[in-house]
C-alpha cells in the first residue's frame, strides 16, 4: 500500500492531448494555463520524439499558452485568448486550431467554444475545443478525446467509396520516428495481404486535411486508442466498423488478420497470408528461443494495450512475465486475462514493493517512467513505450504485426545478450 506520499505511475490527460497534436503536423493547440504548459511539450519535443515539431527554435510553437496562474484564474482573460488565437490564425502553416486548458482553468467556467466560434466562421481553418475539466482521466483519455472530436468534425464530403479501401482509426502515433512509421507500413502491408488498401490512418503524422481521405473507405478498422472515434467515423460514412485488438505479438497479429478477413469476406486469403508470415517469423527463433529466452524472468511497466500482447509473446518465446503494471487508470486490460494480475495506475512505493519480491529480473521492459523508479537495481532495462527518452528509431523498425514481432524479439534478444556480456565481463579477471 502507498504511504500517501508516493507518486502515481501514470501520465496526465494533457500529455495525451499533446501526443495527438504532435501527430498532426499542421495542428496548433492553445492551452489556457501557466508556463508549465510549455514544459509538458518538452516531454515530447526533442525527448520522446526527435522529429517533433511542437516546439520551434524561432519561438512559433504549436503549443501556445495563455500564462494563466492560480492567482489570475478568476480574472477575465477572454481578450488574451482572442489575441493569441488571432496570432495562431496568422500562421501560414495552420490547418487546425484546438483550444484546451489545465483543469483549474477549465473548471473556472470560461466558455472556450463561444470564443472560438467567430474564428471558425471567418476562416477556412477548423477550430475545436478539447475539454479538460476532469480530475479522473489520464493521458490515454486525452489522446482519445482529440480523435473523438476530430471524428465528429472532419470534412467527409462523400466521394465515391473505393471497394477495397480501409481507414484505420485508433493507432497510437506517439512520435514521428521510424518505429511508428514502420507500424503504419506494417498495418498497410497486412491489409494488402488481404487485397485491401489502407487509404487513411488516424493518425499518420500527416496534415489535418489528409484525415479527410477516410471518406473513400468502405471499412473502418478501430484500434484501442480511439474506439469512440472509429465508431463515429464508421457511422458518419455508413460503412462497417471492425473493432480489433492491437496486433502486437505473433498471436495477436494472427487474430487481427482473421478479424479483418472475416469481416471483409476474405477468410481464405487471410489464412494464406498468415501461413506465409508464420513460415517467415518462426524459423529465426529456433535457436534463440531455448538459448536466449527460455525461463528468463521479465518485468513490464507501460501501456495497458501493449501488455497483453507482451505477456503472450513472452510466453511464446519461453520467458516468464513475473511482474506487470500499467500507466493507466483501471479498466483497460485485455479480455483474455493474460495480464489479470497487473497493477493498474500503481503508486511508486506499492509498485516497488510488488517488484522487489521477484528481483533481480533478467530484463525489465518499461517506459521511462518505470526506469526512473527502478534505475538498474531490478535488472537490465529495455526502454519501450511512451515516453521513451533513451530509445529512438532513426530507421523503420515496427513492433506491430508479423514483422514487428521479429523486430521486437530482436530487441529483447539483444538486451538479454548485452546483459549476459556484462555478466561475463564482471566475472573475468582483468
The CATH number that applies at residue 293 is: 3.40.50.1980
208: left (phi over 0), alpha (psi -120 to 50) or beta: alpha
Contact between 338 and 306 (Cβ < 8 Å): no
Report the alpha-carbon distance of residue 266 to residue 352 in Å, rounded.
47
Q: State how far the Cα of 244 lies from the Cα of 52, in Å rounded to an integer.
A: 29
The domain boundary residue, chosen from 281, 303, 334? 281
148 and 206 inside one domain: no
Q: Residue 123 above 90 pLDDT?
A: no
CB 62 within 8 A of CB 94: no
Query: With bands split at pLDDT 50, 70 and 90, how would you rate the model's confidence at 242?
Result: very high
- Shared-domain flag, residues 389 and 330: yes
Look at residue 419 and tell me if it is in a domain: yes
| Alpha carbon distance 99, 95 (integer Å) | 14
Confidence (pLDDT) at 390: 96
User: Has residue 146 been placed in a domain?
Assistant: yes
* Owning domain of residue 49: 13-153
**Of the candidates 427, 430, 417, the residue with the CA atom closest to the CA atom of residue 363:** 417
251 with 147, same domain: the answer is no
Co-location of 47 and 179 in the same domain: no
CA distance 282 to 226: 31
Of 357, 359, 365, whose CA–CA distance to 377 is shortest? 359
Indicate the pLDDT class of residue 110, thresholds 50, 70 and 90. confident
Distance CA(162)–CA(164), nearest Å, equals 6
pTM of the shown model? 0.93
Q: Helices 267-281 and 250-263 meet at what angle, rounded to 10?
A: 160
Q: Does residue 306 carry a pLDDT above 80?
A: yes
Question: For residues 158 and 244, what is the distance between their CA atoms, to the nearest angstrom?
Answer: 25
The answer to which of 9-23, 72-86, 201-215, 361-375 has the lowest mean pLDDT is 72-86
In a domain, residue 7? The reply is no
Domain final residue pick, 98, 126, 153: 153
CA distances from 204 to 5, 112, 377 (A): 40, 28, 37
Distance of alpha carbon 2 from the chain centroid: 28
Q: Is residue 249 included in any domain, yes or no?
A: yes
Distance of CA 99 to the CA centre of its chain: 21
Same domain, yes or no, for 25 and 139?
yes
* Whether residue 289 is found in the same domain as residue 423: yes
Question: What pLDDT is stored for residue 1 in this prediction?
Answer: 39
Is 429's pLDDT higher than 80? no
Let me know whether 187 and 91 are in one domain.
Answer: no
Which residue did the predictor score with more confidence, 330 or 54?
54
Count of domains observed in the chain: 3
Are residue 257 and residue 327 in the same domain, yes or no?
A: no
For 122, other C-beta atoms within 10 Å of its C-beta total: 8
Residues 22 and 81 in one domain: yes
Identify the domain boundary among 153, 187, 219.
Answer: 153
Whether residue 237 sits in one domain with residue 172 = yes
CA pair distance 180, 326, nearest whole angstrom? 21
CA distance 366 to 324: 10
Residue 4 domain flag: no
**Same domain, yes or no: 263 and 338:** no
Whether 391 is in a domain gets the answer yes
Cell representation of residue 381: 532495462
Same-domain check for residues 231 and 307: no
Q: Is the pLDDT of residue 2 over 60?
A: no
Q: Select from 281, 275, 279 the least CA-distant residue to 193.
A: 275
Position 5 in a domain: no
Comparing C-alpha atoms, which of 360, 383, 404 is closest to residue 301? 383
> What band does 105 get if pLDDT is binned at 50, 70 and 90?
low
**Residue 364 belongs to a domain:** yes
Rank 55-69, 196-210, 320-334 by mean pLDDT and report only the highest: 196-210
According to DSSP H, which parts of 264-302 are helical?
A: 267-281, 285-288
Most distant CA atoms of the chain, gap in Å: 75
Cα(21)–Cα(8) distance, rounded to whole angstroms?
25
SS3 content of the chain, % helix, strand, coil (to 5): 45, 15, 40
Q: Which of 75-79, 135-139, 308-312 has the lowest mean pLDDT?
A: 75-79
Amino acid at each position: 500500500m502507498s504511504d500517501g506520499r508516493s507518486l502515481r505511475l501514470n501520465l496526465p490527460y494533457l500529455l495525451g492531448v499533446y501526443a495527438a497534436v504532435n501527430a498532426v503536423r499542421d495542428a496548433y493547440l492553445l492551452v489556457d494555463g501557466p508556463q508549465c504548459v510549455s514544459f509538458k511539450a518538452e516531454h515530447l519535443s526533442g525527448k520522446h520524439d526527435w522529429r517533433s515539431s511542437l516546439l520551434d527554435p524561432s519561438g512559433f510553437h504549436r503549443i501556445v499558452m495563455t500564462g494563466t496562474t492560480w492567482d489570475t484564474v478568476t480574472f477575465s482573460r477572454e481578450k488574451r485568448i482572442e489575441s493569441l488565437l488571432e496570432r495562431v490564425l496568422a500562421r501560414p502553416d495552420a490547418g487546425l486550431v484546438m483550444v484546451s486548458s489545465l483543469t483549474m482553468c477549465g473548471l473556472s467556467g470560461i466558455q472556450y467554444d463561444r470564443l472560438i466560434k467567430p474564428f471558425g466562421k471567418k476562416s477556412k481553418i477548423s477550430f475545436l475545443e478539447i475539454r479538460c475539466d476532469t480530475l479522473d482521466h489520464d493521458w490515454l483519455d486525452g489522446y482519445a478525446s482529440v480523435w473523438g472530436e476530430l471524428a465528429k468534425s472532419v470534412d467527409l464530403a462523400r466521394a465515391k467509396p473505393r471497394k477495397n479501401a480501409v481507414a484505420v482509426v485508433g493507432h497510437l502515433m506517439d512520435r514521428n520516428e521510424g518505429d511508428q512509421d514502420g507500424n503504419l507500413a506494417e498495418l498497410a502491408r497486412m491489409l494488402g495481404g488481404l487485397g485491401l488498401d489502407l487509404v487513411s490512418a488516424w493518425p499518420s503524422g500527416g496534415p489535418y486535411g489528409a484525415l479527410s481521405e477516410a471518406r473513400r473507405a468502405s471499412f473502418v478498422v478501430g484500434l484501442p486508442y480511439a474506439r469512440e472515434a472509429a465508431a463515429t467515423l464508421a457511422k458518419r460514412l455508413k460503412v462497417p466498423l471492425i473493432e480489433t485488438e492491437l496486433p502486437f505479438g505473433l498471436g495477436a497479429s494472427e487474430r487481427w488478420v482473421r478479424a479483418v478477413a472475416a469481416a471483409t469476406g476474405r477468410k481464405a486469403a487471410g489464412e494464406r497470408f498468415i501461413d506465409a508470415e508464420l513460415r517467415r517469423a518462426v524459423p529465426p527463433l529456433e535457436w534463440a528461443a531455448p538459448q536466449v529466452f527460455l525461463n528468463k524472468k521479465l518485468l513490464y511497466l507501460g501501456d495497458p494495450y501493449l501488455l497483453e500482447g507482451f505477456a503472450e509473446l513472452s510466453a511464446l518465446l519461453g520467458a516468464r512475465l513475473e511482474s506487470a503494471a500499467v500507466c493507466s487508470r483501471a479498466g483497460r486490460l485485455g479480455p483474455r486475462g493474460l495480464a489479470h494480475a497487473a497493477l493498474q495506475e500503481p503508486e511508486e512505493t506499492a509498485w516497488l514493493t510488488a517488484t522487489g519480491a521477484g528481483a533481480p529480473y533478467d530484463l525489465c521492459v518499461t517506459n521511462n517512467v518505470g526506469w526512473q523508479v527502478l534505475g538498474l537495481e531490478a535488472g537490465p532495462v529495455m526502454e519501450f513505450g511512451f515516453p521513451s527518452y533513451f530509445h529512438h528509431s532513426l530507421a523503420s523498425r515496427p513492433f506491430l504485426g508479423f514483422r514487428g514481432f521479429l523486430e521486437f524479439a530482436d530487441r529483447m534478444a539483444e538486451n538479454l545478450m548485452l546483459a549476459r556480456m556484462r555478466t561475463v565481463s564482471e566475472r573475468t579477471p582483468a
